[in-house]
Structure 1
Amino acid sequence: MKKFNLNVFIYTTLLTLLVTFIVPTNLQASASTGNFNLTILHTNDTHARVEQQPRLFTAVNTLRSQKANTLLVDAGDVFSGTLYFNKFNGLADLYFMNLLGYDAMTFGNHEFDKDSVTLANFIRQMNFPMVSANVNVTKDAYLSPLYRDFTGNPAEGGKIYPSIIKTIGGEKVGIFGLTTEETSILSSPSKDIVYEDSVQKARLTVDSLKRVGVNKIIALSHLGYKPDINLGQLVDGIDIIVGGHSHTTLDKPYVINKTEPTLIVQAGEHLNFLGSLDVTFNSTGVVTGYNGQLADLSTYSENQHVKTKVNEYKAELEEYTKRIVGKTDVFLNGERADVRTKETNLGNLITDSMVAKANQFVKTHIALQNGGSIRSSIQAGDITLGHVKTVLPYENTLVTLDLTGDELWKALEHGVSGVETVEGRFLQVSGIKYKFDLTKPVGSRVWSVEAKTDDGFKPLDKTKIYRVATNAFTADGGDGFTMFKKAKDEGRMKELFIVDYDVMVDYLSKYSLVSPKVEGRIIQEAQVSNGDTTAPNAPVVNGVKNSDKKVTGKAEAYTKISIYVGKNRIGYGTTKKDGKFSVSIKKKQKAGTNLIVTAKDKAGNVSKAIEIVVSSEDKGNGKGRGKDKGKGKDKGKGKGKK
């Protein structure tokens, strides 16, 4: 039996501890080296704005020269939006992305606007990887050969990975991608592509990166701003979310404060800005400091080498786009915030052209166009083919659907269900007049619909069949129009096989000079209950001093507050959902002045008037006491509601 050797035991124990603890620590991105500074330059939703590339080059190179450790990434939607995409299928954009040396990109929903052949051709020519943890392309014949089912370390350009690891300044940084699960209805992907749950896949991907010692993790997210906040709250371990999809302009990062905080950044749209985030990690990979801002590209000069190349692409489009196809006397409003929330004259022009073209085949009175498919405005003057194709870049074909009145009503309801977040499902219309109330819950907002018939506009009959022209995208359930998809699946659709820009060009050629107006087809208006003659309760008004510029208090929700001195109204406003109001007055009022305050409900009923005396700055004043004035404008109608 060998004699026990204490020195050998101690040496062996220390060696075991070294292997067990020190080696894994070294794998954790050299965490023992202390603080690490990283700059992330980011773009999103560029949508084929090729002519911004010369300024982008100057901005990127300027910032890179000032920073030691930089990444350049894109959060998706390079495809679609201008004729550069229609002509070059994303390859013009990619030329400059390769030249700039992007480090990674994730799929946007618009990367699936064309077929998988187009997307695969784009990816194959990338000098950097595509990252996506939740877009499953393994059954797609064209994309699956490009997919690698492991973390790229290092990653190869022209391939798709769930995640990659970049070594920057001796530190390991993990990057993975996520794409909105709604892509299956927002775009036109192959049926072989599956969009998996983003939160679940994010957790699994973060865990896999941590297991190989990565503690600095960036998500490239094409989910949208609000889903990004949800992602950051539900998934631990993501340090930075570089966002896209919602076209949100974040002047500074949104911070989710947790034990390990998460920063969210997004750079608007169309290469108007380059996002720049300076971030400091401590030795365990936790963000301890940051400075995020947007570089306004309009303030940067154009790189002349890049400008020359852009002009080469531009020259190829000239013959393609310069043909004049019509003229407008007025500005045609296709602004994103407008076509997705209200009636616009361009929406009217487009839908009128759809009705006109459909009528060449079958009698049609109604057309519906999702606002998300209208991508630009047109200035007054000559209209070229280029203008039209920029407005309608998706090459959707015209179809007609035979819908019940009930299905048509539900489609309008679906269209106004995302007004607050400016969703593309909002419907521009022809042959329809409808009203909706934003104070009502989703699903019960539309309260008046009239449809055009052979005998003019009539209240919508939910049991009647109406023929409706729309685009093939929505007819296939795009933007969530499941009632359209049902009609299509039941054989109630007629394909007209005419692309949308040709529909508009044909209409313009017939009418030459157009001057469409907003004419009350879509009205956002609170619904008033018939026969409501009961006045609201008198408002409760807080004390007013001679130094105050506002009058505050509480009344019934969504009532109109009027403030008078004598017969002169000096303030007007609306109460919020909780009934509170804060109404600016035209000027400060002298102490001793009598103010009269009333509340008017949606039906026009006016409360009893409240009289309050303005106090001096150094004297208190209680809340207003009600006095039924009985006379004067907006005063003293009816009894208070109980």
Structure 2
Amino acid sequence: MKKQLTILGFSVLALFLVPLIGAEERNIQRIDVMYTSDIHGHIGRSDATFLNPNFPPPVGNGASAAAYIAKVREEAAKTDRPVFLFDSGDIFQGTPVGMHTMGASVVDWMNNVGYSAMAVGNHEFDRGWKNLRNLSNQANFPMLGANVFNTDTQRKVDWLGDYVIFERAGFKFGVVGYVTETTANMAFGDNVENIEFKAVHELLPGHVKELREDNGCDFVFVLMHIGLPWEPEKEKRYLEMIEREKEGSIVRFGMNAMELAHTVWGVDAIFAGHTHTGYLKPWQDPKTHTMVFEPYANGSSIGHVTFLIDRDTKQMIGYETHFGRGALLTLFEEEIWPDEVFAKEINEEVARVEEALGLGDTVGETTVNLVRGSAENALMGFVVVDAYREECNADFAIQNVGGVRANLSPGKITKRDLLAVSPFDNEMFVLEMTGHYLKELLETKLMGRGSGIYFSGGKVRFDLARPNGDRIVSFTRDGEPVDLDATYRVAMTNYLADGNSGLIQLKEFPRDKIEVVGMLDRAVLENYIQRKGVISPTNDGRWVRVKGTSE
């Protein structure tokens, strides 16, 4: 096994557990940090369909993570190395065991494996802030939300921490945590009643100063449910950020982890989440030298980095990673055999919940891979909105891309599968609106770098080179242009109808033009697939990107 050692901006290879040459002379202290994010309830074993949908290798998830965590702690104890275990939020929404227990089972697992601290995520509010308060009280570790404030008192809520200070190996480590400030735009109003999510860039500099100057911390770690850009585009996004910095427009509401690392000094490392984009090696800002780490989501991986600290200067001089490809370990059962005690307890809890919910029942079958993702070609998204339109007797249907949460492989479709696809228990609404209003909604989802929304009932051709608000080149139904003055029935979830996912104009939509269907989105999807029996969707060109075409 090898470690990847990075020091002063260049890399060398060192054998695992072999000391760095000159380490004794430099009096180096090693600090281990393991990190997770966006577990989304996936503590039970799963199959790595993201690698091979037909023959997916098994992933040990919570039980394999527990085995690896115990192994690292055992090795670290031999040399008195401190060990931290962090999470960056969204711990329970997404699986039956997570949702049915409202997060309690996941917090139990986190208590048992010994987390040091976590930042809460936007989905921690899916069952309301009072449920999150209960989870925070249940946790044996600090749940942090330094930017979560009560609107009545204008003070930070008292049921989440802002930061925690650890004294280890003669050093003081300050750890502060934040949730994305856009949570209010992604949560139901009742779930975040009297809650304000303040901008992180406004608070972080003050917290860094408070930790370093007022509390004497030697190092500052930030846990944030705010992510990095998609890893293959990191250089492109960095250059765009630098251009915005030159224009004076880099500081704004909703900054990502790369931007925060670039604009705030005094942070040694950020452990990010929310975007589900794993970074095998940390992003390090060239100006502030802040390192940003982010793991993959859904409990499939764990990150592990060892920081090297010069005891004499109290400077962090480098880091080591522990796997051939970098800092992330995919928890394949063949590589990290699950801890037997954890596996037994998790399996029993998962089985209890799934039996209570009847999740093993077969609903139908798919002959093709149903993959979520881009609005242009995601067959899973197509099936969802087709179900909304047909089962709700609507002309059109829409669903935000983030509302479809799982892929399905060819074969039988069970209720368990549908819960993974649609885990939110959203209600179905039908809104009566003009073609012009619907087109405006679609244009909203194409603004900026937007790429649309899952859509059923028509076909849209769009050009992102055109100005915001005028990017739709053609909008047709049954081969004819949509009548912009006519009234249509448009099916969507109450989440969208409440003005979320950027569709803020829906907040003002007339209530007397909204029909409550009386069914959850998942039930609508289940009815549709049961009625069809076998589904074989294709890409029918309902959402097509074009260039340089006029209407």
TM-score scaled by length of structure 2? 0.80
Tell me if the contact between 2:430 and 2:516 (Cα under 8 Å) persists in the aligned partners. Answer: yes
- Aligned-pair identity in percent equals 27
2:538 to 478, 500, 517: 517
Q: In the alignment, what sits opposite 2:179?
A: 179
Alignment of 1:332-481 (within 5 A): 332-335=369-372, 338=373, 340-359=374-393, 364-417=394-447, 426-440=452-466, 442-451=468-477, 456-481=478-503
In 2: Cα distance, 1:124 partner to 1:272 partner: 27
Q: Report deviation, 1:35.
A: 5.1
Cα distance change on mapping 1:111 and 1:322 into 2, 3 Å: closer
Task: Between 320-329 and 205-214, report the one with greater CA deviation.
Answer: 320-329
Report 1 or 2 for greater relative contact order, CA contacts < 8 Å, sequence distance ≥ 6: 2
Q: How many residues align?
A: 468
Q: In the alignment, what sits opposite 1:216?
A: 219
Tell me if the contact between 2:41 and 2:99 (Cα under 8 Å) persists in the aligned partners. Answer: no
Q: In the alignment, what sits opposite 2:243?
A: none
Which residue identity lines up with residue 278 of structure 1 in the other structure? Answer: T
In 1: Cα distance, 2:362 partner to 2:493 partner: 21
Cα distance change on mapping 1:102 and 1:71 into 2, 3 Å: same
Tell me if the contact between 1:392 and 1:500 (Cα under 8 Å) persists in the aligned partners. Answer: yes
In 1: Cα distance, 2:500 partner to 2:181 partner: 13
Tell me if the contact between 1:343 and 1:428 (Cα under 8 Å) persists in the aligned partners. Answer: no
2:43 to 41, 44, 50: 50
Task: Between 80-89 and 52-61, report the one with greater CA deviation.
Answer: 80-89
Cα distance change on mapping 1:444 and 1:275 into 2, 3 Å: farther
Cα distance change on mapping 1:138 and 1:170 into 2, 3 Å: farther
In 2: Cα distance, 1:516 partner to 1:379 partner: 13
Q: In the alignment, what sits opposite 1:19?
A: none
Q: In the alignment, what sits opposite 1:40?
A: 33
Q: Report deviation, 1:216.
A: 0.3
In 1: Cα distance, 2:482 partner to 2:142 partner: 52
In 2: Cα distance, 1:447 partner to 1:284 partner: 61
RMSD (Å), alpha carbons: 2.4
In 2: Cα distance, 1:100 partner to 1:256 partner: 32
Tell me if the contact between 1:447 and 1:527 (Cα under 8 Å) persists in the aligned partners. Answer: no
Which residue identity lines up with residue 106 of structure 2 in the other structure? Answer: D
Which residue identity lines up with residue 270 of structure 2 in the other structure? Answer: I
Cα distance change on mapping 1:501 and 1:332 into 2, 3 Å: farther
Cα distance change on mapping 1:333 and 1:513 into 2, 3 Å: closer
Q: Report deviation, 1:124.
A: 1.4
Q: Report deviation, 1:345.
A: 2.6
Q: In the alignment, what sits opposite 1:261?
A: 289
In 2: Cα distance, 1:134 partner to 1:332 partner: 41
1:316 to 345, 349, 352: 352
Task: Between 45-54 and 179-188, report the one with greater CA deviation.
Answer: 179-188
Q: Report deviation, 1:387.
A: 1.1
Query: C-alpha deviations, 1:336-375, integer Å up to 9, x for none?
Result: xx2x34233322222122122322xxxx211111111111
Q: Tell me, which stretches of 5 or more residues in structure 2 are unaligned?
A: 1-25, 45-60, 230-255, 322-326
Q: Tell me, which stretches of 5 or more residues in structure 1 are unaligned?
A: 1-32, 149-158, 531-642
Task: Between 65-74 and 285-294, report the one with greater CA deviation.
Answer: 285-294
Q: Report deviation, 1:295.
A: 1.8
Alignment of 1:494-573 (within 5 A): 494-529=515-550
In 1: Cα distance, 2:405 partner to 2:186 partner: 14
Cα distance change on mapping 1:285 and 1:473 into 2, 3 Å: farther
Cα distance change on mapping 1:173 and 1:310 into 2, 3 Å: same
Q: Report deviation, 1:55.
A: 0.7
Tell me if the contact between 2:375 and 2:381 (Cα under 8 Å) persists in the aligned partners. Answer: no
Tell me if the contact between 2:370 and 2:378 (Cα under 8 Å) persists in the aligned partners. Answer: yes
1:206 to 197, 205, 208: 208
Which residue identity lines up with residue 343 of structure 2 in the other structure? Answer: K
Q: Partner of 1:160: helix, strand, or coil? A: coil
Alignment of 1:577-616 (within 5 A): none
Q: Report deviation, 1:417.
A: 3.8
TM-score scaled by length of structure 1? 0.69
Which residue identity lines up with residue 42 of structure 1 in the other structure? Answer: Y
Q: Report deviation, 1:441.
A: 5.2
Which residue identity lines up with residue 176 of structure 1 in the other structure? Answer: V
Structure 1 or 2, whichever has the larger Rg, is 1
